Amino acid sequence: MKGIRPYARRLESIEPFRVVEVLTRARELEREGRDIIHLGAGEPDFATAPPIIEAGRASLARGETYYTEAGGIPQLREAVSTYYQSQYRLTIDPRRIMITPGASGALLLLSALLINPGEGMLMTDPGYPCNRQFLQLVGGEGQLVSVSGEQNYQLTPELIASHWSHNTVGALVASPANPTGAVLDREALANLATAVARRQGFLVVDEIYHGLSFGVNTPSVLEVDDNAFVINSFSKYFGMTGWRLGWLVAPESAIPGLEKLAQNLFISMSTMAQHAALAGFDPATRRILDQRRDVFAARRDYLYPALKSLGFGLGAAPEGAFYIYADITRFSDDSQQFCSSMLESHGIALTPGADFGRYRASEHVRFSYTTGMERIEEAVGRMRKVLN
Ligand X SMILES: Cc1ncc(COP(=O)(O)O)c(C=O)c1O
Q: Which of 22, 39, 40, 42 binds ligand X (CB under 6 A)?
A: 42
Name residues contacting ligand X, limited to 168-187 (CB under 6 A).
174, 178
Name the segment binding ligand X (CB under 6 A); options: 10-18, 59-67, 96-104, 296-304.
96-104
Cis peptide before 176 (omega within 30 of 0): yes
User: From residue 260 to residue 299, what is the string marking binding to ligand X with x (rule CB under 6 A)?
Assistant: ----------------------------------------
Q: Which amino acid is at 45?
A: D
Q: Which of 128, 164, 304, 367 binds ligand X (CB under 6 A)?
A: 128
By CB under 6 A, residue 125 contacts ligand X: no
- Cα–Cα nearest to 39, from 279, 347, 278: 347
Cα-Cα-Cα-Cα torsion 310, 312, 317, 318, nearest 10 degrees, comes to: -120
Cβ distance to ligand X smaller for residue 58 or 361: 361
Identify any residues that bridge with 359 across adjacent strands, giving them in sequence order. none
- Cα–Cα nearest to 124, from 152, 165, 161, 166: 152
By CB under 6 A, residue 221 contacts ligand X: no
Cβ distance to ligand X smaller for residue 94 or 102: 102
By CB under 6 A, residue 103 contacts ligand X: yes
Q: Which of 97, 208, 221, 269 binds ligand X (CB under 6 A)?
A: 208
- Cα–Cα nearest to 276, from 68, 124, 54, 36: 54
Per this entry, what is the length of the chain? 388
Q: Which of 81, 180, 235, 335 binds ligand X (CB under 6 A)?
A: 235
Euclidean distance between CA atoms 255 and 247, whole angstroms = 13
DSSP designation for 70: T
By CB under 6 A, residue 102 contacts ligand X: yes
H runs (alpha helix) in the chain: 18-31, 50-61, 74-88, 102-114, 130-137, 157-163, 186-198, 255-265, 271-278, 283-310, 335-346, 373-387
Name the segment binding ligand X (CB under 6 A); options: 53-61, 98-106, 299-307, 357-365.
98-106
User: From residue 314 to residue 333, what is the string marking binding to ligand X with x (rule CB under 6 A)?
Assistant: --------------------
Residues that bind ligand X (CB under 6 A): 42, 102-104, 128, 174, 178, 206, 208, 233, 235, 241, 246
